[in-house]
Amino acid sequence: MSRIPQSFIDDLVSRADIVDVVGTRVPLKKKGKEYTACCPFHHEKSPSFFVSPEKQFYHCFGCGAHGTVLGFLMAHDRLDFVEAIETLAGQMGMDVPREGGNTAQENPHAPLLAILDECSTFYQGELKRTPKAIDYLKQRGVSREIAATFGLGYAPGGYDTLERRFNADDATRDLLKRAGMLSEGEQGRLYDRFRERIMFPIRDRRGRVIAFGGRVLNDDKPKYLNSPETPLFHKGAGLYGLYEARKALGRPDRLLVVEGYMDVVMLAQHGVREAVATLGTAVTREQVDLMYRNTAQVIYCFDGDEAGRRAAWRALESTLPQLRDGLDARFMFLPDGTDPDSLVRQEGAEAFRARIQANAINFDHFLLSELEQQTEHDGSPAARAKLKALAQPLIQLMPESTLKELVFNSLAQRVGTRVNRLQFNAPAPQTPKLHRQPPTSNTRHSAIRQAILYLLYHPELARDTALDPAWAQSVIPGYVLLAELIATLRANPMPLGILLEHYRNSPQLKTIDALACLPAPQDSDDEQVRQSMWRDMLSHLTAAFSRERLRELTAKPFDQLQTHERHELLRLSAIKLTP
């Protein structure tokens, strides 16, 4: 199985500055040797979130969130581990290497991805050879460059074009069917799903084609046709144009949600590169989650008619559970008979952006205004009470945050009551994880824990440290980990954040992670004093190890001891061991 080399991950994290990465997402203020802010992972009014450039580590004393630069990207941007590596490497201009294995074996969907990529290449070639398709795109104002950016193509007529193109045997036909490119008729015969349509490849976050949307060149119905649900494609979980927006803008300041593929393409044509489209479905929570992984503000752009407002309301219901401090959602309604495609062609990008600025309303204004339409509009106590009853359960969908409190304030002002009468839920009390120290069952465990913690803060101490090799096989808690850490850091002294990534897949990670969250050990700025303290710790642990080992050996019958154990017993018995 191919994987990212650990050496690359170590190098990537060592080159990254966690303060820079966190600082682009959270406003940090310098405080001594660290940086602080209000935690982005829970609601708080005073800062308890700290970032340490020395340790390359972040921690929150309020909710217990903590980790490395990769851990922060995973938690804040809601990425998986590989995505976090790719994101950080991309920001630093580094290519992510892979080593070993077979990609096709690693990814069971590789054959589907490969055949969809071939279909996309085929459709792009057909577009270049089909004058009527080229004329259609020219009439719509699509340039050759934008067509190439979005990989636009053309599906020719005919019911077996793809089968002939691939010279398909049964296995290939089955693959095309599972990829959503062939449909099955009543007689069981397979035929091309897309025929005589402009083809819009739908890409995943890595730019791989996972599905298609197709638009007719005339007024035939259905105007748009999407790939069916497949192992790769789930309509409610993706967004058209997100890959292209990220490629053009990196992490965009906002995303503009429109309804049609051509809206996305034409907005990009005019320089509005932040547009994305849902895939023929109402906005889902999965799509909202995906958007907020990539931006802090979402603007929904819908028709101003009744159908558009219904679609906007469904989008609001999916968005509210995701809205927390630092995130925003707005709604923009278009004039009757227009769409983003026609407006941007008519007005130009500057006027279109000005329209967004002037007309996009805050989500709470849209929420309360729409609900007021369901009351008697007379300002009576009954009408205001009804507004409260309608709005309160929807606002409760929001995570606990200052933003939620402010929306309740808006409701209280409209209703004419005190906000505490709305009885919104307070956040459940949380026990700070950072104060849950490892068990302190006895002094020996405290001593080994203290030594490991001291080493985590001063990895350079491992350079000149030589241990008894028996520590690496000890059953005494902590000795194996300390021996392993000294061996690792002697070869490559590294800050805590890098060390944690080095141990990400190790069973020892949980222990190191817990120790990393403890308060810094008592220390000195004098290097000689630190070395003396370290030698004292090791001397104490060596004596404790010898006592424990002596107990183990004397507990066995002498005639059952192996030769090396007898020699060890005699040696330890001759040493004066302090109790």
In the predicted structure, residue 338 carries a pLDDT above the cut 60: yes
DSSP secondary structure string, 522-550?
A: P--S-HHHHHHHHHHHHHHHHHHHHHHHH
* Burial classification of residue 431, based on how many CB atoms lie within 10 Å of its CB (0-12 exposed, 13-18 middle, 19 or more buried): exposed
432 pLDDT higher than 60? no
pLDDT of residue 343: 93
d(CA 261, CA 198): 11
Residue 102 reports pLDDT greater than 70: no
**What is the distance, to the nearest Å, from the Cα of residue 265 to the centroid of all Cα atoms in its chain?**
26
Contacts of 548 (CB under 8 A, 6+ apart): 444, 476
Confidence band for 10, pLDDT divided at 50, 70 and 90: confident
Say how many C-beta atoms besides its own lie within 10 A of residue 287's C-beta: 25
Identify the pLDDT of residue 489.
Answer: 86
**Average pLDDT for 277-287:** 89
Contact (Cβ atoms closer than 8 angstroms) between residue 64 and residue 434: yes
More confident residue, 241 or 32: 241
CA triple 333-294-260, angle to 5 deg: 40
| Residue 345, pLDDT above cutoff 60 | yes
User: What's the CA gap between 546 and 151, in Å, rounded?
Assistant: 70
Q: Which domains does the chain have, with CATH numbers?
A: 6-91 (3.90.580.10), 107-233 (3.90.980.10), 242-359 (3.40.1360.10), 369-422 (1.20.50.20), 441-574 (1.10.860.10)
Instruction: Judge contact between 461 and 430, C-beta under 8 A.
Output: no
- Position 421 confidence tier, pLDDT thresholds 50, 70, 90: low
State the Cα–Cα distance between residues 119 and 483, nearest whole angstrom.
Answer: 55
Q: What is the pLDDT of residue 143?
A: 95
Model confidence at 577: pLDDT above 80: no
CA dist list (Å): 428 to 43, 46, 400, 473? 11, 18, 9, 44
Other Cβ atoms within 10 Å of 100 Cβ, number? 9
pLDDT exceeds 60 at position 442: no
